[in-house]
Amino acid sequence: MAYFDNASTTFPKHESVYNNTMEIYRKIGVNFSRSSSEKSKDANSIKKELVENLKRIYSSKTHEVIINASTTFSLNEIIAGLDYSGIKTVYISPFEHNSVYRPLKKLEKEKNFKIEVLKFDETELDIKDMELRFMSKKPDLVIITHASNVFGNILPIETIFAETKKYNGITVLDTAQTGGVLDYTKISKLSDFIVFAGHKNLYGPSGIGGYLYNKNIKLEPLLYGGTGIKSEDIDMPEDLPERFESGSPNIMGIIGLKLATDEILKIGIKEIKKIKIKNLEQLYRILKEYSYDIKIHSGIESNIGIISVTATDYTPQELGKILSDYGIEIRTGMQCSPLAHNHMKTQNGGTTRFSVGYFNKGEEFKELKAALENIF
């Protein structure tokens, strides 16, 4: 098998995640902060180490880290939980995932705000247009993906958020595709919320994610229930992170993500990025050889590791099925991002998407080239 679907979920994971998660779970698989037992203390220690790892990866000393099930849950909690009394205009990019667009559209009429889409010339932000629009309709809330999950282009977050902060707007960054690969030293300071996916470039298991939270922003939790503290109070505690972590946590997910982030910090984000760029360039070279048969919709400059294509003689689904028969794993269709496809004019069936990761090896690229040679 040649795996080129890392934008969906990275595969494989680090060996330590596979080998040690169950071993640790067998030893201390109990709830966090629910008792004073030694096992519970050990579990708390693992969670604290994960939190510190995430703060290092995201270059943050001030954010609170909230652990939950996924990027989708995090975005829904943030979007639903904000105070909209002072929010009249919400800006997004044309590359947003449905986990941003759907909850925003649901609330748009209920909360009486207007969604505005920033202007991009394909993948390049029109900075002048943004500045003029912000002057006309100030950015009360800006929710932006760091990189398109369809085309891979990395958005100029520092530029957008710096301009937003001139108007004291709230900033929410979706790093599902970029966490663990890019440097956040400057961006972290401009971000009120940084949402992450554990199972993508952080190389953790599925079912674990969360967000870094500027606790000066008022936010209501999406879930209400047991927190292990102040159980006598009917209201949710103000204490963080407990306020946003009701119920029994995904202990195995937390262990796995802690082990995965250990590996990221050991290797170094610069090295991970370098290898991903190398793999992206190799993928691009192979696909470029078949430019008479396929159209490449992604550039490789400022790209997180994703290339979307359409074929002359096959629908995205047909090409995906043929590639699957050759043992090539990719993703086809709309990739849960119809906004991006509408913007890039690939909405008629979507694309065939290839995405590289840290672990792609030379043999996989050879298998892909051989498959394409037979197909075209």
Span 62-71, pLDDT tens digits: 999 999 999 9
pLDDT at 34: 55
Domain ranges of the chain: 2-11+268-375, 15-267
Q: DSSP label at 5?
A: B
- Cα(55)–Cα(293) distance, integer angstroms: 45
Q: Which residues of 286-322 are buried (b: 16+ CB within 10 A; e: fewer)?
A: bbeebeebbebbbebeebbbbbbbbbeebbbeebbeb
Length of the chain: 376
Cα dihedral across residues 335, 341, 346, 349: positive or negative: positive
Closest CA to 354 of 204, 182, 152: 152
Cβ-proximal residues to 168 (8 Å cutoff; 6+ apart), any chain: none
Closest CA to 152 of 212, 87, 201, 112: 201
In the three-class reduction of DSSP (H, G, I as helix; E, B as strand; rest coil), residue 87 is classed as: coil
Residues of the chain with pLDDT under 50: none
Q: Give the strand pairing for 306-311 and 294-296.
A: antiparallel
**CB 196, CB 209: distance < 8 Å:** yes
pLDDT at 234: 84
User: Tens of pLDDT along 186-229?
Assistant: 999 999 999 999 999 999 999 999 999 999 999 999 999 988 88
Is residue 355 within a helix (H) or strand (E), and if so which, with residue range?
strand 351-355
| 186 C-beta neighbours (distance < 10 Å), count | 13
pLDDT at 35: 53
Could you confirm whether domain 15-267 is CATH 3.40.50.2000? no
Partners of 282 in beta bridges: none
* Identity of residue 261: T
Outline where the chain has alpha helix (H).
Answer: 15-28, 38-57, 71-81, 98-111, 127-136, 157-165, 187-190, 251-267, 269-288, 316-325, 338-344, 362-375
**CB 211, CB 195: distance < 8 Å:** yes
* Identity of residue 287: L
Dig out the tokens for 69 from the structure. Answer: 């099930």
**Identical fold, 2-11+268-375 and 15-267:** no
**CB 260, CB 18: distance < 8 Å:** no
pLDDT at 228: 81
| 127 C-beta neighbours (distance < 10 Å), count | 14
* Identity of residue 235: D
The CATH class given to the 2-11+268-375 domain equals alpha beta
Q: What angle do CA 204, 209, 214 make, to 5 degrees?
A: 130
pLDDT at 175: 99
* Identity of residue 226: G
pLDDT at 44: 84
**CB 154, CB 173: distance < 8 Å:** no
- Cα(318)–Cα(316) distance, integer angstroms: 6
